[in-house]
Amino acid sequence: MKTDTLRARLLEAQLDLAHRRERAVILLLTGHAVTYKGQLVNELNHWLENRHTEVHALGPSSEERERPYWWRFWRRVPDRGRIGIFIHGWYGDALFARAERRLSSGAFRDRLAEIRAFEAELAAEGVVLLKLWMDIDRREQRRHLQALQADPIRAWQLNTTDWQRHLQHAAIGALGHEMRDATASDHAPWRRLAFRDPTAQLERVGGLLHETLVAPPVAPAVVPDAVPGEAPDAPSIRRADPRGETPLKKANYTERLAEAQRRLAINAREAARRRIPVVLAFEGLDAAGKGGSIHRITAALDARQYRVHRIAAPSDEELALPWAWRFWRRLPADGRIAIFDRSWYGRVLVERIEGLAAEAAWQRAYAEIREFERQLLAHGAVLGKLFLAISQEEQLRRFKARAATPHKRHKLTDEDWRNRERWDDYRQAIDEMFARTQAPGAEWALIACDDKRRARLRVLESVNKRLEARLASPL
């Protein structure tokens, strides 16, 4: 295909992608040094419509180092209709760290497993991946390095890292082979490109990108998530009975509340001093008191330290991106607190029950959630997951009270009544959620909430215990 024809067809395919907004495309280039990846991307960018293209050549910023590793990539995933081009992307860190022995062989394999999970999640959410390994013979690489060094006009393009990568050529080649074998799949294929003249290479890459844009997307093979028996320490809402407690007197409650909030203030300040991030996820039945419990927590905190995220129906921006993006983007920096009033568990609760997510999507979500939370914990975050339970009788009483109270009437919606009609379906989904997402460091706290005062104290106690356990650890 002639260059002009290829360029026109590539642009046409890109504009069709932008018009349809059915999927996003990621082009990732990595490999040996002096294969002119930057020049190639610059030329390719001239062929494409820049308004629908994003280019990322990443070195982690201080902001990114204060969050879990994958945050920097999740926040740059292109939305539907756009092309994201990554130079090295998530492969460069692992490849070069392993070549320099800053990453053990076991840690390297673990990172490749994370990459497989990340790419499978992207593909399942409509992101098409094309990954290019740029190869070059060691002697050819050296010749190009020497030519660049001798050219006064282009010598500035060289740095000591390029020569270091040349000395590591054999190691990088072997690691690249291992990396490609471990992460190649139908939905995220690798293409190995031997070094060519830059013009010929541009045509080759443009052709592969065109093929990717016009080909039907390949969904990842669905690997059924193991459905465990009930986790030994997982709570069960169907066995819990929140009724029958003697209401706590106000005077006793006020005194205990002040003490619990004092503890929380001290714990939160120490977590901030140690730069420990805190993530609290609140789920619960309608009218169980999530808002009131969150308010008792924030009343003890410095307003500069926390942020409450109230998760509702996704916005148009969120609908154009993978489902998990809306939660990754809200993760706190080290030393800060993020409180989620409803969370990523909506996919296996309301989205499941109301048919807002396909069965394949919510079934897949259990494994995605476990991996998401594992990465939070690996970064050193404190993760608190609280489920607020209420009896059917108490819920009805609170619904009627809201309907009769002008300043609370807005809290009661048709959706609340509809959810109540599916009480048994929700209880089954809740228990399955507990069993399939209970893990060390990510345990659920089931809070009985028929007595609001006792419930608020229990929430504070649960958060304090989790913070104090983390602060007492030597890590």
Write the DSSP string, 370-382.
HHHHHHHHHTT-E
d(CA 320, CA 82): 10
HSE (CB half, 13 Å, CA atoms) of 152? 0
Residue 428 lies in a domain: yes
Query: Is residue 84 within 8 Å of 76, Cβ to Cβ?
Result: yes
Note whether 146 and 95 are same-domain residues: yes
Q: Which residue shows structure tokens 């060390």?
A: 440
Residue 114 lies in a domain: yes
Query: Is residue 459 within 8 Å of 280, Cβ to Cβ?
Result: no
DSSP 8-state assignment for residue 223: -
Q: Which residues fall within 8 angstroms of residue 461, CB to CB, at 6 or more apart?
A: 260
pLDDT value of residue 390? 94
The one-letter amino acid code at 153 reads: I
Asked if the model's pLDDT at residue 227 lies above 60, the reply is no
Note whether 92 and 175 are same-domain residues: yes
Average pLDDT of the chain to the nearest whole number? 93
Beta bridge partner(s), residue 86: 28, 56
Residue 228 lies in a domain: no
Tell me the H-state helices in 215-302. Answer: 250-273, 290-298
Residue 223 lies in a domain: no
Asked if the model's pLDDT at residue 244 lies above 70, the reply is no
Note whether 14 and 132 are same-domain residues: yes
Across 171-184, average pLDDT:
98
- Backbone φ, ψ for residue 413 (5° rounding): -125, 170
Across 265-285, average pLDDT:
98
Note whether 427 and 279 are same-domain residues: yes
Q: How much is the pTM?
A: 0.93
Task: Output 329 or 474, whichever has higher pLDDT.
Answer: 329
Confidence of residue 277 (pLDDT cuts 50, 70, 90): very high
Query: Is residue 421 within 8 Å of 286, Cβ to Cβ?
Result: no
Tell me the H-state helices in 25-132. Answer: 37-47, 62-65, 71-74, 89-99, 105-124
Beta bridge partner(s), residue 280: 339, 384
Smallest Cα–Cα separation from 301: which of 335, 258, 268?
A: 268
Smallest Cα–Cα separation from 352: which of 366, 371, 372, 341?
A: 366
Note whether 315 and 176 are same-domain residues: no
Phi-psi region of 212 (alpha: psi -120 to 50; beta: other; left: phi over 0): alpha
pLDDT value of residue 126? 95
d(CA 96, CA 419): 51
d(CA 445, CA 441): 12
Note whether 91 and 195 are same-domain residues: yes
| Interval 246-258: pLDDT, tens | 889 999 999 999 9
Across 181-193, average pLDDT:
96
DSSP 8-state assignment for residue 178: H
The one-letter amino acid code at 220 reads: P
DSSP 8-state assignment for residue 185: B
Note whether 209 and 257 are same-domain residues: no
The one-letter amino acid code at 285 reads: L
pLDDT value of residue 13? 98
> How deeply is 207 buried, as exposed, middle or buried, from its count of CB atoms within 10 A (0-12, 13-18, 19+)?
middle
Task: Output 413 or 462, whichever has higher pLDDT.
Answer: 462
The one-letter amino acid code at 54 reads: E
Note whether 209 and 312 are same-domain residues: no
| Interval 66-113: pLDDT, tens | 999 999 999 999 999 999 999 999 999 999 999 999 999 999 999 999
Note whether 182 and 126 are same-domain residues: yes
pLDDT value of residue 462? 98
d(CA 97, CA 93): 6
pLDDT value of residue 159? 85
| Interval 123-165: pLDDT, tens | 999 999 999 999 999 999 999 999 989 988 888 888 889 999 9
Q: Calculate the dihedral angle through the C-alpha atoms of 312, 313, 317, 319, rounding to the nearest 10 degrees.
A: 140
Domain that holds residue 186: 3-214
Residue 190 lies in a domain: yes
Across 237-264, average pLDDT:
89
Note whether 337 and 434 are same-domain residues: yes
Across 404-422, average pLDDT:
78
Q: Give the domain-ending residue among 197, 214, 231.
A: 214
Q: Give the domain-ending residue among 193, 214, 235.
A: 214
Confidence of residue 410 (pLDDT cuts 50, 70, 90): confident
Number of domains in the chain: 2
pLDDT value of residue 51? 95
Residue 179 lies in a domain: yes
Note whether 190 and 307 are same-domain residues: no
pLDDT value of residue 366? 97
Instruction: Give me the count of residues in the chain.
Output: 475
DSSP string, 292-338: HHHHHHHTTS-TTTEEEEE--SPPHHHHTS-TTHHHHTTPPPTT-EE
* Rounded percentage of the chain residues whose pLDDT exceeds 70: 97
pLDDT value of residue 230? 54
Confidence of residue 402 (pLDDT cuts 50, 70, 90): confident
> How deeply is 312 buried, as exposed, middle or buried, from its count of CB atoms within 10 A (0-12, 13-18, 19+)?
exposed
- 406: domain CATH number is 3.40.50.300
Strand residue runs (E) in 374-467:
382-389, 444-448
d(CA 445, CA 470): 16
pLDDT value of residue 413? 78
| Interval 367-389: pLDDT, tens | 999 999 999 999 999 999 999 99
* Distances, alpha carbon 351 to alpha carbons 224, 361, 434, in Å: 19, 10, 16
Note whether 205 and 99 are same-domain residues: yes
Q: Give the domain-ending residue among 154, 186, 214.
A: 214
Tokens of 49: 């419509």
Residue 226 lies in a domain: no
Residue 204 lies in a domain: yes
